[in-house]
């Protein structure tokens, strides 16, 4: 074989992620509100894109079906044909499915007649949040308004405002007075005086550093901080452990007085700061709406209230095309037309994919929609992906950051994918269904016969759940329920009135 430079021609295949394909994949993971923001950016970048308004009502001609009367085909006018071709005399041809430009509302596709959530008829999301929270006053604002009348010393007032700014949502001070003094460069005595001012403000109990201090401030306000109540407040740990006999001896009271003290203690607010509005919570707008049909089935639809109607401005395209004397301008215009058509197609495909996945979820978890969480089935992304003929990663993107609204409430799509546990039926049961069964059994237990984890195992077995004791304990703790000993003490305290 001769050695030397030569040219070889080879043919091979490879998968390339084009920018448009990457963009389409990215759109799947966005929620409707994020899509709305993305559309806003696209409108600024592409002059051919526009938001569609209300179409004028058109009376159907005699003998013409209403469906055809509402549709506009590409052959209706020269303008439509020009847009459909997507090219000019000297421009390169474009492979565009121009029929995606006109969709009917009944198809549930992207360019259906839908108002934007930020249009004139409906307030924007920010306006809705502000309107909802406009009547709430934050804890910080409520306390700062009281500092001026509470002290005439400017230094103490300034330190008090700093302390107010450090309070958590419950009204507690999470840092020490030494840290306050060091942060502000003042004496510790001044920080103590400022904290004393804060602790006189409404609501009573704010500025406390511990639960005992918070309850003590409220007891003093009610003029009930006598020596017996002080000892009760100082030993709240005994109350939490249910050691009532020792606590009663420390307080030196009889059963009747002890019951009165416990009843009074329950009347105090352990988190006084939560009475006031904190930061505005993020609004959850459902992306999918599920409603029951009269025939017993389910209607699954994309929530189009947050999806603007996106169209191509045809008349503007024709106007620009007539004013493009050079090939470069015409090529740029054709690129913008291709981008606009592609975006509409990509958003339309996104909507179809979401509907496909949501419909399969409703089908797989129909028991939940009819009977509640106890009927949730174990479900994985792979199961849904195989059922609808898509890749598992696509289903994962579709179910990210999206919510479904149904008669039972609003749930994140990830909620419907749960791990499974063994069941007598052999099909398996959802972990959420097991948690619901455990909660139901514990809520119905007799205070005089608290159910142990072993007893719960037997009762759950009677319901068809094959679980180990440690699994029952894990699920019980996950839903915030204590052990049998803790529940017995809690119900004993509740019984003392």
> What confidence tens digit (pLDDT) does each residue in 375-421 have?
778 888 888 999 999 888 888 888 888 889 998 888 888 888 877 66
User: pLDDT: is 488 or 101 the higher one?
Assistant: 488
Give strand pairing partners of 412: 403
Higher pLDDT, 64 or 22: 22
Instruction: Report whether pLDDT(82) > 60.
Output: no
- Which tokens is 234 given? 């100082």
Q: At what angle do helices 32-45 and 327-364 cross, to 10 degrees?
A: 170
Separation CA 102–CA 321 (nearest Å): 21
Radius of gyration of the chain (CA): 33
Answer whether 246's CB lies under 8 Å from 212's CB: no
Residue 63 pLDDT more than 50? Answer: no
- Find, among 191, 217, 202, the residue nearest to 141 by Cα: 202
SS3 (DSSP) at 403: strand
Across 345-378, b (16+ Cβ under 10 Å) vs e yields: bbbbbbbebbbbbbbbbbebbeebbeeebbbbbb
Rounded Cα distance between 175 and 165, Å, is: 11
Name the DSSP class of 304: G
Whether 100 has a pLDDT exceeding 80, the answer reads: no
Q: What is the pLDDT of the chain when averaged over all its residues?
A: 75
Q: 156 with 199: CB under 8 angstroms?
A: no
Both structure tokens of 349: 């495909």
Domain ranges in the chain are 27-54+70-122+283-365+396-412, 139-275, 429-495
Structure confidence at residue 204 (pLDDT): 87
The CATH code of domain 429-495 reads 1.10.10.60
Residue 239 in tokens = 């109350």
CB 77 within 8 A of CB 68: no
Looking at residue 275, its pLDDT comes to 81
Task: Kindly provide the residue ranges of all beta strands, DSSP E only, lying in 105-231, ordered along the sequence.
Answer: none
Write the pLDDT tens digit of every residue in 253-262.
888 788 888 8
pLDDT of residue 426: 53
Amino acid 481: pLDDT: 81
**Residues 6+ away with beta carbon under 8 Å from 324:** 88, 330, 333
The residue among 53 and 469 whose pLDDT is bigger is: 469
- Per-residue pLDDT, 282: 55
Above 80 in pLDDT, residue 128? no
Cα(49)–Cα(338) distance, integer angstroms: 11
From residue 114, how far is each of 189, 202, 285 by CA, in Å?
64, 48, 16
Burial of 223 (0-12, 13-18, 19+ CB in 10 A): exposed
- Expressed in percent and rounded to 5, the helix, strand and coil fractions of the chain are 55, 5, 40
- pLDDT at residue 97, rounded to an integer: 37
Taking the CB of residue 282, how many other CB atoms lie within 10 A of it?
9
| pLDDT tens string 251-310 | 888 887 888 888 888 888 888 888 876 544 456 788 899 998 888 889 999 888 777 778
Share of the chain above pLDDT 90, in %: 4
* pLDDT given for residue 62 in this prediction: 38
Distance CA 328, CA 131 (A): 50
Ranked by mean pLDDT, which of 40-49, 78-87, 254-263, 319-328 comes out on top? 40-49
Confidence band, pLDDT 50/70/90 cuts, at residue 136: low
Residue 325 pLDDT exceeds 80: no
Q: What is the pLDDT of residue 289?
A: 92
């Amino acid at each position: 074989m001769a050695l030397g430079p030569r040219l070889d021609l080879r043919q091979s295949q490879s998968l390339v992620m084009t920018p448009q394909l990457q963009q389409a994949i990215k759109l799947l993971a966005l929620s409707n509100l994020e899509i709305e923001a993305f559309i806003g950016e696209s409108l600024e970048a592409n002059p051919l894109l526009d938001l569609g308004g209300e179409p004028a009502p058109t009376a159907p001609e005699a003998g013409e079906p209403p469906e055809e009367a509402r549709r506009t085909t590409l052959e209706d006018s020269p303008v439509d044909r020009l847009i459909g071709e997507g090219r000019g005399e000297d421009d390169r041809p474009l492979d565009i499915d121009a029929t995606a430009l006109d969709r009917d509302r009944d198809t549930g596709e992207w360019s259906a007649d839908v108002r934007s959530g930020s249009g004139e008829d409906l307030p924007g999301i920010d306006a809705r949040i502000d309107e909802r929270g406009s009547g709430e006053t934050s804890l910080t604002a409520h306390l700062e308004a009281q500092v001026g009348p509470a002290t005439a010393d400017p230094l103490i007032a300034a330190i008090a405002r700093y302390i107010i700014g450090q309070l958590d949502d419950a009204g507690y001070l999470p840092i020490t007075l030494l840290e306050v003094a060091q942060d502000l460069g003042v004496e510790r005595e001044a920080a103590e005086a400022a904290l004393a001012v804060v602790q006189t403000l409404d609501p009573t109990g704010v500025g406390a550093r511990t639960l005992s201090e918070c309850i003590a401030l409220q007891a003093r306000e009610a003029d009930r901080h006598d020596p017996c109540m002080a000892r009760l407040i100082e030993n709240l740990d005994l109350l939490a452990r249910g050691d009532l006999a020792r606590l009663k001896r420390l307080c030196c009271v009889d059963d009747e007085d002890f019951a009165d003290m416990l009843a009074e203690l329950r009347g105090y607010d352990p988190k006084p700061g939560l009475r006031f509005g904190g930061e505005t919570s993020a609004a959850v707008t459902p992306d999918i709406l599920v409603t029951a049909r009269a025939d017993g089935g389910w209607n699954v639809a994309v929530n189009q209230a947050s999806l603007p109607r996106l169209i191509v401005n045809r008349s503007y395209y024709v106007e620009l095309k007539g004013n493009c004397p050079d090939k470069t301008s015409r090529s740029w215009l054709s690129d913008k037309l291709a981008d606009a058509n592609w975006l509409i197609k990509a958003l339309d495909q996104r909507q179809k994919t979401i509907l496909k996945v949501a419909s399969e979820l409703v089908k797989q978890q129909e028991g939940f929609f009819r009977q509640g969480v106890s009927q949730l089935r174990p479900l994985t992304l792979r199961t849904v992906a195989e059922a609808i003929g898509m890749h598992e990663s696509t289903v994962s993107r579709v179910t990210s950051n999206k919510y479904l609204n149904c008669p039972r409430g609003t749930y994140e799509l990830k909620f419907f994918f749960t791990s499974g546990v063994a069941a007598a039926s052999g099909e398996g049961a959802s972990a959420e269904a097991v948690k619901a069964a455990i909660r139901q059994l514990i809520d119905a237990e007799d205070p005089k016969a608290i159910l142990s984890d072993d007893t719960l195992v037997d009762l759950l077995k009677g319901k068809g759940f094959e679980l180990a004791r440690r699994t029952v304990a894990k699920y019980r703790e996950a839903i915030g329920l204590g052990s049998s000993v803790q529940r017995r003490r809690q119900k004993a305290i509740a019984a003392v009135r």
